[in-house]
Chains A and B, each alone.
Chain A
Amino acid sequence: MLEIKNLHASINGKEILKGIDLSVKAGEIHAIMGPNGSGKSTLSSVLVGNPAFTVTEGSVTFNGKDLLAMEPEDRSREGIFLSFQYPVEIPGVSMVNFMRAAVNEHRKYKGLEPVSATDFLKLMREKRAVVDLDNKLASRSVNEGFSGGEKKRNEIFQMAMLEPKLAILDETDSGLDIDALRVVASGVNKLKTADNAIIVITHYQRLLDYIKPDIVHVLYKGRIVKTAGPELALELEEKGYDWIKNTIDN
């Protein structure tokens, strides 16, 4: 599904990603872990086409298409979803209008008619249940006045609405208490099928207790330095990132 080859990227002339290789297949859950500043969030930003970052080398294909040649909105329509670490507030724009615009743009891309108001509201109701999102939140402005946990729930709700092929969860666990973490994780698990894939980016192991990865990668200084099964996450938790740092830096 996703093939990343020798990906280099920089921001303001400073190289952050220094040759990433990664292959994700349908049905898989990958976890990308690493210490702060290792390039985890840069990787997710580059994959969704955040204009703040420049790709200097390498290639990314998504279901055979050149992902890097696509505008961010087309990447979304092709089925890539990012659950933002810090979801932004958009005052005055109701979640309903926002989601309807998004859903209809996705439909247009597929050559479908815009969804009817009744069907749309039905869809909203159904998907809200996935993360137990309050109806009141859905009628408020996008993320405005939402607590940290509500924002993350709202991200997963949007994921449920857009049914992406590849979802990237960027530090979705940050700022969540244990109850909220459970709700969010169980929402993600409900959305997991054999046809889609998930990349979980996280600093800590705890999210992986709830969303079980098939493969764990460790990112350090802009490179993937270690790849293994789920046991790697536990080992990291136990030994800390210094273990990786010492191995690599020495």
Chain B
Amino acid sequence: MEDTNNILNEVTSGEYKYGFVTDIDTDVIHRGLDEATVRLISAKKKEPDWLLEFRLKAFRHWQTLEMPTWAHLRIPPIDYQDIIYYAAPKKKEGPKSMDEIDPELMKTFDKLGIPLHERAQLSGMAVDAVMDSVSVKTTFKNTLAEKGIIFCSFSEAVQHHPDLVQQYLGSVVSYRDNFFAALNSAVFSDGSFVYIPKGVRCPMELSTYFRINAQGTGQFERTLIVADDEAYVSYLEGCTAPMRDENQLHAAIVEIIANEHAEVKYSTVQNWYPGDKEGKGGIYNFVTKRGLCKGEGSKISWTQVETGSAITWKYPSCILAGDNSVGEFYSVAVTNNYQQADTGTKMIHLGKNTRSTIVSKGISAGHSQNSYRGLVKVSPRAEGARNHSQCDSLLLSSTCGAHTFPYADIQNETAVVEHEATTSKISEEQLFYCRQRGISVEEAVGLIVNGYAREVMNKLPMEFAVEAQKLLTISLEGSVG
């Protein structure tokens, strides 16, 4: 038993591979947050008045709020006046074309495996690369524009498609929604904007890569995806940050709108710096993600592989407003060392015959705490609503915690709601069986964990499935027991 514990401990103490810092001149504003900060950010981005007003309303509302305390998380006090709310890599001086990018930034994203030259790209994937508070480059913009698809940075969308942004911004996640949503709405800097016109199937995966680089900053990005009638898009988000002793705050909002018979697949591979083995440093990942299945027969599917961040607070949700609409949530959340995660989903059934599926796979190691929290709500008029939830926990040490908090609020008696939950461990017999076949302990743990998470991993786009599998194995290096 001791042997296995030791072995598993060794296997799950891996190193974070993306912890480097890019040495680049950064335009940072002063620390702290007040109305002047909000105005400054808006001015830097040359925003229209309505957007400044939106920010100010959010900011004033935020001032009346307290941080939520209901999650199963121990969050150290955060000094919101000690955070830098805007940091942008400086453009080099001299006359340059719009598309020219600082070679240092190119190198950074290359190193992260996200080449920004279109010719070097994985075919079939367009990328918006965001460093700290600004979008560095969006690839394949023109190719996509031919089909009427808009894929650009949020700032650009505000300049070039203000009517679309104004129509949908805050329509799914109101600035009044919660503490972090209000904060984000006040100070958000950049992110991605996607619009898929009616009847268009987006021919490539769209992807945004978020990178925190500057010290002392927070990242507050905003993503807005609108799929018009019968449109389809698969969107992928990745993120990493340098290794630092300080904690950095990441408070994002993602809003998705799916009109009639539209389908949006949103996949996340979250690999923010998780802190060191003693729990020092790491990103606080406090994110509000929500999709609105607005039209009849629309579908929104969330797939997340969460391996990073010191603390995760995140519940990608679906509001199933359209009749016959479908919501899905597939999640693998890995916590190791002193990481904490409180993650899950909300499925709000409003329309008739709406269906939702929840599959959550928690994997806990070291001294980490991993919670699933989910709500299934069926409104009185949601005749024939159906939900199936499955929440599994895999424990890799005797010092970690796995918790499940399922909530159900069923107000229509025709609804069928099912919930299953299991808790398991990697057995010594399984490990030994693998080793007897010549498979090393690391590889064996990777195999077993990936097998456990397979149902969710299968939902990821092919291009990322392999990476995500490796990531699962790496984030658990040195931890089973």
Report the nearest A residue to B457, measured CB to CB.
A92
Contact of A90 among B4, B435, B447 (CB under 8 A): B447
Determine whether the beta carbon of B435 is less than 8 Å from that of A76. yes
Determine whether the beta carbon of B3 is less than 8 Å from that of A51. yes
* A73: Cβ under 8 A from any B Cβ: yes
* A69: Cβ under 8 A from any B Cβ: no
The smallest C-beta distance from B188 to any residue of chain A, in angstroms, reads 39
Supposing A90-B451, A92-B450 touch, asked if A158 and B437 sit within 8 A by C-beta, the answer is: yes
Contact of A91 among B4, B437, B441, B451 (CB under 8 A): B451
* A78-108 interface bits toward B, Cβ cutoff 8 Å, 1 = contact, 0 = none: 0001101001101111100110011001100
Tell me the complex Cα distance, A77–B320, Å: 54
Main secondary structure of the interface of A (DSSP, over half): mixed
* B91: Cβ under 8 A from any A Cβ: no
* A27: Cβ under 8 A from any B Cβ: no
Tell me the complex Cα distance, A235–B443, Å: 47
* B464: Cβ under 8 A from any A Cβ: no
Determine whether the beta carbon of B437 is less than 8 Å from that of A162. yes
* A193: Cβ under 8 A from any B Cβ: no
Contact of B433 among A88, A91, A97 (CB under 8 A): A88
Determine whether the beta carbon of A92 is less than 8 Å from that of B438. no
Determine whether the beta carbon of B447 is less than 8 Å from that of A77. no
Determine whether the beta carbon of B438 is less than 8 Å from that of A105. yes
* A43-63 interface bits toward B, Cβ cutoff 8 Å, 1 = contact, 0 = none: 000001111100000000000
Determine whether the beta carbon of A92 is less than 8 Å from that of B433. no
Tell me the complex Cα distance, A105–B452, Å: 22
Tell me the complex Cα distance, A71–B7, Å: 12
Tell me the complex Cα distance, A87–B433, Å: 8
Supposing A72-B432, A88-B429, A88-B433 touch, asked if A141 and B438 sit within 8 A by C-beta, the answer is: no
Determine whether the beta carbon of A90 is less than 8 Å from that of B430. yes
Tell me the complex Cα distance, A195–B374, Å: 59
Determine whether the beta carbon of A73 is less than 8 Å from that of B430. no
Report the nearest B residue to A79, measured CB to CB.
B438
Report the nearest B residue to A83, measured CB to CB.
B436
Determine whether the beta carbon of B3 is less than 8 Å from that of A102. no
Tell me the residues in window 431-481 of chain B with beta carbons closer than 8 Å to chain A beta carbons. 432-441, 443, 447-448, 450-455
Contact of A93 among B3, B429, B438, B451 (CB under 8 A): B451
Determine whether the beta carbon of A92 is less than 8 Å from that of B440. no
**What is the interface size of chain A, counting residues whose CB is below 8 A from a CB of the partner?**
32
The smallest C-beta distance from B420 to any residue of chain A, in angstroms, reads 14
Hey, which chain B residues are within 8 Å of A72, CB to CB? Answer: 432, 435-436
* B185-217 interface bits toward A, Cβ cutoff 8 Å, 1 = contact, 0 = none: 000000000000000000000000000000000
* A109: Cβ under 8 A from any B Cβ: yes
Determine whether the beta carbon of A98 is less than 8 Å from that of B438. no
Determine whether the beta carbon of B436 is less than 8 Å from that of A82. yes
Tell me the complex Cα distance, A97–B454, Å: 12
The smallest C-beta distance from A48 to any residue of chain B, in angstroms, reads 5
Determine whether the beta carbon of B435 is less than 8 Å from that of A93. no
Determine whether the beta carbon of A90 is less than 8 Å from that of B433. yes
Tell me the complex Cα distance, A87–B427, Å: 13
Tell me the residues in window 128-142 of chain A with beta carbons closer than 8 Å to chain B beta carbons. 141-142
The smallest C-beta distance from B454 to any residue of chain A, in angstroms, reads 4
The smallest C-beta distance from A218 to any residue of chain B, in angstroms, reads 26
Contact of A109 among B436, B438, B447, B453 (CB under 8 A): B438
Supposing A90-B451, A92-B453, A105-B443 touch, asked if A50 and B437 sit within 8 A by C-beta, the answer is: no
Tell me the complex Cα distance, A97–B448, Å: 11
Determine whether the beta carbon of B427 is less than 8 Å from that of A88. yes
Report the nearest A residue to B454, measured CB to CB.
A92
Determine whether the beta carbon of A93 is less than 8 Å from that of B448. yes
Tell me the complex Cα distance, A109–B437, Å: 13
Tell me the complex Cα distance, A220–B407, Å: 59
Hey, which chain A residues are within 8 Å of B438, CB to CB? Answer: 73, 76-77, 102, 105-106, 109, 162
The smallest C-beta distance from A143 to any residue of chain B, in angstroms, reads 9
Hey, which chain A residues are within 8 Å of B430, CB to CB? Answer: 88, 90
Supposing A72-B432, A92-B452 touch, asked if A105 and B439 sit within 8 A by C-beta, the answer is: yes
The smallest C-beta distance from B213 to any residue of chain A, in angstroms, reads 36
Determine whether the beta carbon of A90 is less than 8 Å from that of B437. no
The smallest C-beta distance from B422 to any residue of chain A, in angstroms, reads 10
Tell me the complex Cα distance, A91–B430, Å: 10
Report the nearest B residue to A76, measured CB to CB.
B438
The smallest C-beta distance from B162 to any residue of chain A, in angstroms, reads 48
Determine whether the beta carbon of B435 is less than 8 Å from that of A73. yes
Tell me the residues in window 16-33 of chain A with beta carbons closer than 8 Å to chain B beta carbons. none
Hey, which chain B residues are within 8 Å of A76, CB to CB? Answer: 435-438
Determine whether the beta carbon of A51 is less than 8 Å from that of B4. yes
- Of all A-B residue pairs in the complex, the 7 with the closest CB atoms, nearest first, are A92-B451, A93-B451, A76-B438, A102-B437, A72-B435, A51-B3, A88-B429
Supply 8 further A-B pairs (C-beta < 8 A) apart from A49-B435, A90-B434, A105-B440: A72-B432, A73-B436, A91-B451, A94-B451, A97-B447, A102-B434, A102-B438, A158-B437
Interface CB pairs A-B, < 8 A, 10:
A72-B435, A73-B435, A73-B436, A90-B451, A92-B451, A92-B454, A93-B451, A101-B447, A102-B437, A105-B443
